[in-house]
């Protein structure tokens, strides 16, 4: 027997240009699929979900997050990028994980995302063994989130050697067959590669081709910090004929201006993680540079060592950082800004349908559209920080926070209702995550004592 939900009387932001938004509408969901969206829907044999005084919208799509770092949350509030890399990789905390810790980390991190209305994320991993890979995947599965599991090489010292030809483990084939043999599931396959700025060119070419063999999104860090400006890595990929919509570039702060157009023309995506980038020293977020060249940015949290794990924060950082950049140019010309350069609606688009497209999932999610899977969230507008919500889009982008997320549905299944996560024993999650955190800190005592 199918499960049917009728979401009643919500302010519906569909993110579907052909449908538009509704001040008040109902959504009919059958099993995992959105069947209809319209005013005053009549349907029988449904569980009624009252969305009165709530904004109903697609779940957020986070295109770049190192999910396991939930175990070392808050440790890096004052870390620069080199300090972060030294303590997390280069033989740091990440290399000390046991498979059981990998499971606890991804379970905790994925639940954190769901609680904040993130229904889909790309988990950018560094794998130390087949057992670690299985633990990470199982954590995502048990959380009930939709995710792209981006399999990556371990983050040891060799990883950061520009001349290294080390490639992603052959275990990737087993993981693909064992965990991702079907695309008709919540978890799909990706590849997290070092890219041309952090590995030998031959390794980059091999790994991009491997990703395409696996039919997997291929994500890499490029163009940030002191590595980016002179490398011309995007131009190299362009000249080699390797750019394409299945490539996801992370950060891309300090590339050549013409390289943004190369990326945009190829359909490749950029994951911008504005808070971390401005804090750690990656460079100024490339939002406007990509837009100016015809691209559509996407958003990611990146690391909860140093930032909160919600997309509300990232939307605000992206919006105001780009406005500040353009406003400053106007002020420098002895004028005052008139119309602001970036709109809240655009940023909400980046955090939903643009992210879904970057991950190759826009045929399933990213908008509330009949025929798509029912990934949606409900945000209370009676909370004091939201009431009265005169502009629903502005309310979501500039005023809301995770505490306002009342309900979360993934593929038609409720995972959060009335402000509480479902189907999970949070005391147990806190217990196993706490034990793993204590293990990491005791095992890596010198580093821990140096940063805490």
Mean pLDDT on 19-33: 97
- CA-CA distances (angstroms) from residue 58 to 86, 114, 120, 430? 37, 13, 10, 28
pLDDT value at residue 220: 97
According to DSSP, the β-strands at 247-251 and 187-193 are: unpaired
According to DSSP, the β-strands at 376-380 and 54-58 are: antiparallel
Same domain, 9 and 103: no
Mean pLDDT on 194-211: 94
Domain end: 323, 356, 389, which one? 356
In a domain, 124, yes or no: yes
Distance CA 119, CA 110 (A): 9
29 torsion bin: left (phi>0), alpha (psi -120 to 50), beta (else): beta
Number of domains in the chain: 2
Mean pLDDT on 8-32: 97
In a domain, 18, yes or no: yes
Same domain, 65 and 51: no
Instruction: Return the percentage of the chain with pLDDT > 70, whole number.
Output: 94
CATH of the domain at 280: 3.20.20.140
Distance CA 376, CA 399 (A): 19
Mean pLDDT on 63-90: 93
Distance CA 345, CA 229 (A): 31
In a domain, 169, yes or no: yes
pLDDT value at residue 92: 86
pLDDT for 228 beyond 70: no
pLDDT for 447 beyond 50: no
Distance CA 367, CA 337 (A): 33
In a domain, 264, yes or no: yes
> Tokens 């990737």 map to which residue?
172
Distance CA 397, CA 348 (A): 7
pLDDT value at residue 263: 98
pLDDT value at residue 160: 59
Q: Note down the domain range covering 36.
A: 4-58+364-421
pLDDT band at 448 (very low <50, low <70, confident <90, very high): very low
Same domain, 223 and 352: yes
In a domain, 99, yes or no: yes
CATH of the domain at 389: 2.30.40.10
Q: Output the average pLDDT for the chain.
A: 94
111 torsion bin: left (phi>0), alpha (psi -120 to 50), beta (else): alpha
Q: By 3-state DSSP, what share of the chain in percent is helix, strand and coil, each rounded to 5?
A: 40, 20, 40
pLDDT band at 21 (very low <50, low <70, confident <90, very high): very high
Question: Beta partners for 416?
Answer: 408, 421
Kindly report which listed range (72-86, 375-389, 404-418) carries the lowest average pLDDT score: 72-86
Domain end: 308, 329, 356, which one? 356
Same domain, 312 and 348: yes
pLDDT tens by residue, 154-170: 866 566 566 666 777 88
Same domain, 54 and 140: no
Q: Which of 272, 267, 294 is nearest to 357 (CA)?
A: 267
Domain end: 356, 374, 403, which one? 356
pLDDT tens by residue, 46-64: 999 999 999 999 999 999 9
Same domain, 195 and 216: yes
Same domain, 382 and 247: no
Instruction: Return the percentage of the chain with pLDDT > 90, whole number.
Output: 87
Same domain, 107 and 123: yes
Ordered alpha helix ranges (H), 222-343: 233-239, 257-266, 274-280, 287-292, 311-332
In a domain, 450, yes or no: no
- Residue 136 host element (H or E): helix 130-143
Answer for the pair 106, 172: CB distance below 8 angstroms, yes or no: no
Could you write out the DSSP letters of every residue in 203-216?
HHHHHHHHHHHTT-
In a domain, 437, yes or no: no
pLDDT tens by residue, 122-181: 999 999 999 999 999 999 999 999 999 999 988 665 665 666 667 778 899 999 999 999
pLDDT value at residue 51: 98
pLDDT value at residue 443: 86
Same domain, 105 and 84: yes
In a domain, 104, yes or no: yes
Same domain, 148 and 44: no
- CA-CA distances (angstroms) from residue 246 to 216, 267, 358? 7, 8, 8
How far, rounded to the nearest angstrom, does the alpha carbon of residue 300 sit from its chain's CA centroid? 4
pLDDT value at residue 440: 93
Same domain, 347 and 373: no
Answer for the pair 367, 402: CB distance below 8 angstroms, yes or no: no
pLDDT for 209 beyond 80: yes
Same domain, 164 and 69: yes
């Amino acid at each position: 027997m199918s499960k049917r939900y009728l979401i009643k009387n919500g302010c519906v932001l569909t993110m579907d240009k052909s449908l538009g938004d509704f001040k008040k509408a109902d959504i009919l969901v059958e099993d995992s699929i959105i069947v209809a969206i319209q005013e005053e829907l009549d349907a029988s044999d449904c569980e009624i979900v009252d969305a009165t005084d709530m904004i109903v919208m697609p779940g957020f799509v986070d295109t770049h997050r190192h999910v396991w770092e939930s175990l070392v949350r808050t440790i890096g509030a004052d870390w620069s990028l080199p300090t972060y890399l030294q303590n997390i990789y280069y033989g740091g905390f990440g290399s000390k994980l046991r498979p059981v810790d990998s499971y606890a980390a991804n379970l905790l991190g994925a639940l954190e995302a769901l609680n904040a209305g993130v229904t889909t994320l790309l988990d950018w991993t560094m794998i130390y063994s087949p057992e670690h890979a299985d633990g990470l995947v199982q954590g995502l599965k048990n959380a009930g989130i939709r995710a792209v599991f981006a399999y990556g090489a371990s983050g040891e010292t060799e990883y950061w050697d520009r001349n290294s030809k080390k490639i992603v483990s052959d275990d990737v084939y087993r993981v693909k067959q064992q965990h991702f043999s079907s695309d008709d599931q919540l978890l799909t396959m990706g590849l997290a590669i070092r890219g041309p700025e952090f590995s030998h060119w031959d390794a980059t070419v091999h790994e991009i081709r491997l990703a395409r063999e696996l039919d997997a999104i291929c994500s890499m860090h490029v163009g940030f910090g002191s590595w980016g400006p002179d490398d011309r890595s995007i131009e190299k990929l362009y000249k080699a004929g390797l750019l394409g919509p299945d490539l996801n570039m992370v950060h891309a702060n300090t590339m050549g201006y013409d390289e943004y157009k190369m990326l945009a023309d190829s359909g490749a995506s950029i994951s911008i993680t504005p808070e971390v980038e401005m804090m750690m020293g990656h460079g100024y977020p490339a939002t406007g540079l990509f837009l100016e060249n015809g691209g559509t940015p996407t958003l990611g949290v990146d690391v909860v060592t140093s930032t909160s794990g919600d997309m509300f924060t990232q939307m605000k950082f992206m919006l105001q950082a780009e406005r500040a950049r353009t406003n400053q140019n106007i002020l420098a010309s002895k004028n005052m800004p008139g119309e602001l350069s970036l709109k809240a609606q655009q940023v909400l688009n980046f955090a939903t349908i643009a992210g879904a497209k970057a991950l190759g999932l826009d045929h399933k999610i990213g908008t509330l559209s009949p025929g798509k899977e029912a990934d949606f969230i409900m945000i209370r507008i009676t909370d004091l920080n939201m009431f009265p919500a005169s502009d629903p889009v502005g309310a979501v982008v500039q005023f809301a926070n995770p505490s306002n997320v009342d309900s979360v549905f993934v593929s038609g299944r409720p995972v959060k209702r009335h402000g509480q996560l479902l189907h999970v024993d949070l005391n147990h999650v806190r217990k196993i995550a706490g034990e793993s955190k204590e293990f990491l800190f005791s095992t890596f005592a010198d580093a821990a004592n140096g940063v805490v």
